């Protein structure tokens, strides 16, 4: 799949809206748009422009997954909205987690996982932003112009990872006779509330398109690190950063992400980059005797001259040999520090 990076609004990316970082105020970020070119068939994409942050703060107490925050932080959140907490400073920098619920009266946030084991809140600073959803990306009434038919088989489909190795599938169904309603539907062709279907940007999504189309995604640029937690085997992820993401920036020129490294591709974690007719596959090979060099290599086990020249599209697959308690760390491109 070709991703048109030139259509990102670069002028907007380099112009910061003035904001103040405090427990009571949000931090404004550069904004822009990106056009993702959808081809007929499977498109592996990720969201690289995001909902704008609404508040920043510091935890005052952590009890398992329950985080106590300063007065005013939880008040800035809207009931019924799903939010993502991003740790931007401190020992847990890069951790990204959904907020399961919040209590403005008691100034608490309940996270979907317990971050206390990750040295949160030692010197931690966090930012909170809404999660994107089916409606915000594709439109309440299908403003993305996905092909709409009477059923799943005759419509473009949006596949969202369900966390159990499979996908939940959605489509925009056209209305018709016999009481058939128009709207977003699941794979059983039941109507769904599109705003309740979250699209978390660390996860990639699949768009199965019946015809070529351009999907325009707009929003805020994330300029801080992002941490991924990967399962064994296939992980469809988003590359998060709209411009400048490469093999070396996301995974490290010397494999700072600590992907499993073996003597060959069959024993190593693999980075699969979607392309025309298939995937380009890369791995970090360990060195050894008989002149075997350490470094990033392609599927033919040929050394990549410069991993910074391997561009990462919006969505990619990471094939993980084994599950690990450690996080796989992806860094933002270095020039983002100037945004």
* Cβ-based neighbour number of residue 318 at 10 Å: 22
What would the pLDDT profile of 78-115 be if each residue is shown by its tens digit? Answer: 999 999 999 999 888 888 999 999 999 999 999 998 88
| pTM of this structure | 0.86
What would the pLDDT profile of 262-292 be if each residue is shown by its tens digit? Answer: 999 999 999 999 988 899 999 999 987 777 8
> Could you tell me how many residues make up the chain?
339
- Provide mean pLDDT across the span 178-207: 94
What are 89's strand-pairing partners?
A: 125
Express as a percent the part of the chain with pLDDT over 70.
90
- Scan for tokens 């995937």, then name that residue: 279
Kindly indicate the confidence band of residue 29, based on its pLDDT and cuts at 50, 70 and 90. Answer: low
- pLDDT at residue 18 in the model: 27
- pLDDT at residue 123 in the model: 82
- Scan for tokens 């995001």, then name that residue: 50
- pLDDT at residue 74 in the model: 96
Express as a percent the part of the chain with pLDDT over 90.
66
Question: Chain-centre distance of CA 328, in angstroms?
Answer: 14
Distance CA 247, CA 42 (A): 23
- pLDDT at residue 328 in the model: 77
What would the pLDDT profile of 298-316 be if each residue is shown by its tens digit? Answer: 999 999 999 999 999 999 9
Sheet arrangement for strand 278-285? 233-238, 315-320, 270-275, 278-285, 295-298
What are 127's strand-pairing partners?
A: 56, 86
Kindly indicate the confidence band of residue 9, based on its pLDDT and cuts at 50, 70 and 90. Answer: very low
Distance CA 147, CA 128 (A): 34
C-alpha to C-alpha distances, 293 to 16, 176, 284, 287, nearest whole angstrom: 43, 62, 10, 5
What would the pLDDT profile of 45-77 be if each residue is shown by its tens digit? Answer: 999 999 999 999 999 999 999 999 999 999 999
Task: Measure CA of the first residue to CA of the last residue in the chain; give whole Å.
Answer: 28
- Provide mean pLDDT across the span 204-214: 97
- CATH class of the domain at 55-131: mainly beta
Q: Look at strands 132-133 and 328-330 and give their pairing.
A: unpaired
Higher-confidence position of 333 and 205:
205
Residues 6+ positions from 179 with CB-CB distance below 8 Å: none
Please state the domain extents for the chain. Answer: 55-131, 226-338
Could you list the beta-strand ranges (E) of 187-256.
198-199, 205-209, 213-220, 226-228, 233-238
Asked if residue 268 lies in contact with residue 285, where contact means CB atoms within 8 angstroms, the answer is yes
């Amino acid at each position: 799949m070709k991703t048109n990076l030139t259509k990102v609004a670069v002028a907007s990316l380099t112009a910061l809206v003035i904001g103040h970082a405090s427990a009571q105020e949000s931090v404004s970020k550069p904004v822009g748009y990106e056009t993702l070119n959808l081809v007929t068939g499977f498109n592996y994409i990720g969201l690289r422009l995001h909902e704008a942050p609404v508040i920043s703060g510091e935890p005052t107490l952590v009890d398992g997954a329950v985080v106590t925050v300063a007065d005013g932080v939880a008040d800035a959140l809207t009931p019924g909205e799903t939010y993502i907490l991003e740790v931007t400073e401190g020992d847990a920098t890069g951790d990204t987690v959904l907020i399961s619920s919040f209590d403005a009266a008691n100034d608490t946030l309940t996270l979907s996982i317990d971050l206390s084991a990750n040295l949160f809140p030692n010197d931690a600073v966090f930012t909170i932003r809404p999660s994107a959803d089916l409606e915000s990306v594709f439109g309440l009434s299908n403003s993305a112009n996905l092909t709409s038919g009477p059923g799943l088989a005759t419509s473009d489909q949006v596949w969202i990872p369900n966390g159990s190795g499979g996908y939940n599938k959605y489509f925009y169904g056209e209305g018709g006779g016999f009481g058939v309603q128009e709207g977003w539907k699941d794979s059983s062709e039941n109507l769904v509330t599109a705003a309740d279907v979250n699209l978390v940007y660390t996860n990639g999504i699949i768009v199965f398109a019946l015809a070529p189309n351009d999907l325009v995604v707009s929003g805020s640029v994330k300029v801080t690190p992002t941490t991924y937690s990967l399962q064994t085997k296939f992980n469809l992820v988003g590359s998060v950063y709209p411009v400048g993401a490469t093999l070396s920036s996301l995974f490290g020129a010397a494999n700072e992400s600590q992907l499993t490294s073996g003597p060959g591709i069959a024993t190593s974690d693999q980075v699969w980059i979607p392309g025309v007719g298939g995937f380009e596959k890369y791995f970090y090979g360990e060195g050894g005797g008989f002149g075997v060099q350490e470094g990033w290599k392609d599927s033919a086990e040929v050394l990549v001259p410069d991993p910074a020249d391997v561009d990462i599209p919006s969505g990619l697959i990471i094939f993980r040999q084994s599950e690990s308690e450690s996080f796989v760390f992806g860094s933002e491109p270095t020039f983002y520090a100037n945004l």
